[in-house]
Every structure is written in C-alpha cells, then in structure tokens.
Structure 1
Amino acid sequence: MRGAVPDFCIACKNAPGVELRLVTDRDNDCPGLRERKRRETRLRIEDCGTELILERGFDQVTLEEICDRAGVSRRTFFNYFDSKDQVASGTGLPALRPEDLKSFATADSGNVVRDILRFLGERIDSDPDTSLTLSPDRETSLRIKARRRIIISRTPHLMLAGMRRFDELAGAVLEAITANLTEFPERRRAPHLDAHEEATLLTAFIRQCLITAPLIHRNEESSRTESLHRAGRDLIQLAAAYADGWD
C-alpha cells in the first residue's frame, strides 16, 4: 500500500562486485530506476559470463551455466544478448540504423573516414550498454573489460562476434562514403580506382580500426572515440611506412 511500509524484493543472487540494492514497488514506477535495474542485470550477466569463461574456457561454459550464476532465465538472457559469444567479447557497436549515416554522404568534410570513426566512437561512448562512464558499477565494468581482452586473446574467433553489428551496417557505411567521394571528387585519394572501389577499401579500414582499437589502446581512462582515433592514426602511419616496393 502506498504510504505504508513498502514491500521489498531482493535479488537472490548477485555477482561479486555488483552492489545489491533494495527495490520497492515505488522504484518500479520510475523509468530512471527501471533503466538502472536493466543496466545492472546486463552487467551481472556480463560479469558472471566472463568470469566463468575466463576460469574454464569458452567452449567449456554453457549458456545455462551463465544464466544460473547470474540468476536469470534464458529468456531474460536473450533480452540482452544474442549469444554467448557476445557476453564473452562484447556487443561492439550499439544498434544503429542505416539512416544514421546518411548525413555523411553529403558532408563537406576534409576526412569523411575520420568523421565516421568519430561518430561511431561517440555512439559507443554515449550508449548505456557499452559506455564505461554510464556503467552502474565502474569497477565491475573495468574487470569485465580486462577479462574480455584475455578471453579474446585465447579465443581469436570471438573478435568477430563484436563486429556483427558493424557488418550489418557496412553496406550503409560503404554507400555513404561512395556518395561522398562522388559528390566531392577532389577528395579522392586513389584515382586509379572508381569511387565505389575506393570506398570499399575505406570501409574495410574503418572495420579494422573497430577491431584493433580496444586490443591495442588499453588505457582504461580513454574513451572509445579517442582509442578509435589513435588506431586510425597508427594504421595510416604504419601503412605509410610500408609504402616502398609496391609499384
């Protein structure tokens, strides 16, 4: 009853490092608190899943075991993740629509590739499911991040799991860059290729930055926007250093 002593519901399981908190019926009426509870549940699944996988190896851990340790059902698990792979390696990009990239087609930019990388980094940094700043428990998120680096180094194919969302979006990225190079032909850098071919290589470059940035630039205080920028700069400088002998 409102105004009386509230009924309390306490989660029976809680992952180490994730704060246990009381939830009242009044809490459930507040969108902000519901969102926090959603983030905490997601974080608990990630914490339990990466802990189990790091302890025993990816192939030795079942989805059911992750659900059991996190105290969630399979149905709840799939509300947050598409697969065990995503728990192990992260979801990568937040969900994006092809329309989100249309503005780059006509953007009068000196470097559309840099701008798209910045856009993707800012979306990751501002997404409540992937942002370290918005995490309900920063220390737990840092532990998960560190575990994932080790897990991926031991199970390299998992690196591709976090790229699924980008791969779904790659056509829109390619289309936007092709349109931009067509609109501003003076910005082309490979005149022996047509605009679509040059855009194909640039889309592959963006994808490679997304793969390597979290593996190479590990400063926990850096935003994903910063790490993507550094990865892009490093790849360009490295490619330039190997420019001799290709003619």
Structure 2
Amino acid sequence: MTDQREPGLRQRKQAATALTIERSAVALVQEHGFQAVTVDMICAASGVSQRTFFNYFKTKDQAILGAEPGRLDERRVREFLASDSPDLLAGILDLLATLAPVGTDDRALAADRMGIISRTPALMQKEIERLSDVYEELKDVLYLRLRRSAPATEPPEETRTQSALIAHLIPGILRFTLEQQSSSNPGHPDAGTAQLLAGALQKLLPAAPAGEPAT
C-alpha cells in the first residue's frame, strides 16, 4: 500500500517545487525587471540548488513562462461542438481552461506572468511559439462549430477565415481577463468583460444607420 502512494506523493512534491520556482521567478521579474533576474537569484528565492532548478527548467525564460501548455480536452471539445449556446466566447474559454497544469490555478500568478510576457518581446515570441499548436487546433474546432450553423450561402473558406480570426483574438481576451482580475470564476470573463468586449466591437465595426447599406 505504501508503494502505491509514493508515486502520487512524489509527483505532488515535484509539482509543488516547480510551482515555487515559477512563483519566485515571476516575483523577481516583477520587482527587478526581466533582464536583471538571474538563475542564481531564482534559486536563492526558491530555496533550491542550481541542480534542482535545471531538473525542472532548462532556462530562466522557461521558469517565467511556466509549464508547457497542454492540449484541448477531448470531452470538452465534443461538448463544444455539440452545443447550441450563443455564448461562443464562454465555450472557447471553457476549452482553454484545461490547458493550465492541475493544481496551479493561481489567478494572481497567471496575471503577473501574462503582464511580464506582454511587456517582454522575447518572452512574447516564445509564448506564441509554445501556443501555436493549441491555436491551430482551436481554429479547426471553431471551424467545425461555426460551419454547423453557417448559412447555406456562406462558402467554407469564409467560415475557415472567420475561425482563424477568432482564434487570433482569444489570447488578447485572455490576457485582459487575467490582468483585470475581475472574475470570481477562473477561466471565464465576467459580465463586465463581456460588455466591454461587445462595446469595443461596436466601435470597431459600427452598424450602418437604419435604411443605409453597410460599407
């Protein structure tokens, strides 16, 4: 019985150590700036040796970015594709909520990390590269969902282009939601965020006055 429990305990300890290193790295960058922080500083703040650090992360950048993103959950993808809910944004964010490693649901850490990434071009580029496969997958899932309800006159390529555009918008919405820290339900924007988004889109794409064609 002890042998059965040990792998679980060991995994939890490893996850806790990795999370401690990530939190220390992010906190140090918040305080000193990205360029000033070194692996030695992260090790000292985390209470680990360099050997331990490199067992978990290859570079300082990786410790700041955190664990590699996962893949979309198959069950949630099936539910998303079968859903007729008009709240597409909530459905998309529900899909992406499973990408965070289990046990690391820390909104403050996520918000601080996203802020650092958005201010640091080198990290932003690496994060885009890490998420490229996820958003390619999301684009394909969106296409299947949108195509199911698309008008018969809408060409498939137009639906695919719309899906790609929505997939590219999602990282910005996620970043805004995390930075605002306004939702009590992690992974989902609150009503205020949704209203702001709707208002912003109306300003970006204003509707034509009644009786006049849209331009």
- The answer on 1:200 being equivalent to 2:164 is yes
The answer for the alignment partner of 1:16 in structure 2 is none
Distance in 2 (alpha carbons) for counterparts of 1:80 and 1:231: 36
The letter for the 2-side match of 1:202 is: I
Which blocks of at least 5 consecutive residues in structure 2 are unaligned? 209-213
- The answer on 1:57 being equivalent to 2:19 is no
Change (3 A) 1:90 1:241: farther
The answer (yes or no) to whether the contact 2:72–2:134 under 8 Å persists in 1 is yes
The answer for the alignment partner of 1:183 in structure 2 is 148
The answer for the alignment partner of 1:211 in structure 2 is 175
Q: Which moved more, 1:97-106 or 1:38-47?
A: 97-106
The answer (yes or no) to whether the contact 2:70–2:99 under 8 Å persists in 1 is no
- Once the two structures are TM-superposed, the CA of residue 165 in structure 1 deviates from its matched residue by 4.1
Distance in 2 (alpha carbons) for counterparts of 1:81 and 1:154: 22
The answer (yes or no) to whether the contact 2:147–2:156 under 8 Å persists in 1 is no
The letter for the 2-side match of 1:212 is: F
- Once the two structures are TM-superposed, the CA of residue 168 in structure 1 deviates from its matched residue by 2.0
The answer (yes or no) to whether the contact 1:178–1:199 under 8 Å persists in 2 is yes
The answer for the alignment partner of 1:237 in structure 2 is 199
| TM-score normalised according to structure 1 size | 0.62
Change (3 A) 1:197 1:146: closer
Q: Which moved more, 1:229-238 or 1:26-35?
A: 26-35
The answer for the alignment partner of 2:15 in structure 1 is 39
Distance in 2 (alpha carbons) for counterparts of 1:45 and 1:151: 16
The letter for the 2-side match of 1:107 is: A
Instruction: Report the aligned-residue RMSD.
Output: 4.0
The letter for the 2-side match of 1:180 is: R
Change (3 A) 1:197 1:96: same
The answer for the alignment partner of 1:96 in structure 2 is 71
Higher relative contact order (CA 8 A, sep 6+): 1
Distance in 1 (alpha carbons) for counterparts of 2:93 and 2:62: 22
Q: Give 3-state SS (helix, strand or coil) of 2:143's partner.
A: helix
- The answer on 1:48 being equivalent to 2:24 is yes
1:130 to 97, 101, 104: 104
Number of aligned residue pairs: 206
Percent identity for Structure 1 against Structure 2: 27
Q: Give 3-state SS (helix, strand or coil) of 1:109's partner.
A: coil
What are the within-5 Å matches in structure 2 for residues 98-177 of structure 1? Answer: 102-103=77-78, 106-111=81-86, 112-121=88-97, 123=98, 127-132=101-106, 142=108, 144=109, 148=113, 151-152=116-117, 155=120, 158-159=123-124, 161-177=126-142
The letter for the 1-side match of 2:203 is: A
Q: Give 3-state SS (helix, strand or coil) of 1:226's partner.
A: coil
Which blocks of at least 5 consecutive residues in structure 1 are unaligned? 1-25, 133-140
- The answer on 1:67 being equivalent to 2:43 is yes
Distance in 2 (alpha carbons) for counterparts of 1:234 and 1:195: 25
Q: Give 3-state SS (helix, strand or coil) of 1:128's partner.
A: coil
- Once the two structures are TM-superposed, the CA of residue 28 in structure 1 deviates from its matched residue by 10
The answer (yes or no) to whether the contact 1:46–1:87 under 8 Å persists in 2 is yes
